[in-house]
Structure 1
Amino acid sequence: MLEMFQEELEIYEGNAELLKVLAHPVRLCIVKGLIERGASNVSTMYTNLNMPQSTISQHLAKLKSARIVTSERKGLEIYYNVENEKVIQLIQVLFQ
């Protein structure tokens, strides 16, 4: 029984961490944009969001470390994408 509680607690902690990372307006905007438009590079994001490149990069680093976004290098550029199905469903619910 204690093992079951610990497993559930780990699930709750993981979900809470996911929500903490997403709980920033810029990160929500980035994730929503990636889901709607597909993979994108930092240049496209900071042009569309009208924010400094460094700001976008910092937020992408947090999203990547939380495994919310993935990245793929294409030549000199890195493209970011959201493949986490739980995140996609959560964003869809938030922005219905």
Structure 2
Amino acid sequence: MEILEAKSEILKALAHPVRLCIVKGLIETEFCNVTKMQSCLEIPQSTISQHLTKLKAAGIIEGKREGVKINYSVVNKDARKIIKALFEK
């Protein structure tokens, strides 16, 4: 049951369109910072930060500080598989 709950948390985190877009974009670009995400998504930085917090809590992404910026990347293999399945052509 623990495995099912863990997988369910990943699905819940990806179930929002903005978070889905963030994860898809991170997979395509390998890493990105909030400033680039904001210009791409055209939503407030605070909103992006809230979504990033949920994705980090679910273990889908992690951030690495480089100077004053934090670059985020997808670290969860299941999330990568889900995005690939959803957007495969």
CA-CA distance at 1:83 after TM superposition: 1.8
Which residue does the alignment assign to 1:15? 7
The sequence identity of aligned pairs, in percent, is 55
Q: Does 1:46 align with 2:63?
A: no
Query: How far, CA to CA, are the matches of 1:46 and 1:65 in structure 2?
Result: 20
What is the TM-score with the length of structure 2 in the denominator? 0.95
Structure 2: gaps of 5 or more residues: none
Are residues 1:85 and 2:87 paired?
no
Paired position in structure 2 for 1:65: 57
Larger Rg: 1
Structure 1 partner of 2:68: 76
Q: Which runs of 5+ in 1 are unaligned?
A: 1-8
Q: Structure 1 residue 29: deviation in Å?
A: 0.2
Q: Is the contact between residue 59 and residue 75 of structure 2 (CA under 8 Å) also seen in structure 1? A: no
TM-score (norm 1): 0.89
Which one has more relative contact order, counting CA pairs under 8 Å at least 6 apart? 2
- The separation in 1 between residues aligned to 2:30 and 2:15, in whole angstroms, is 21
What is the CA RMSD across the aligned residues, in angstroms? Answer: 0.7
Q: Which runs of 4+ in 1 moved over 2 A?
A: none
Contact 2:13–2:55 under 8 Å retained in 1? yes
Counterpart of 2:19, as a letter, is: R
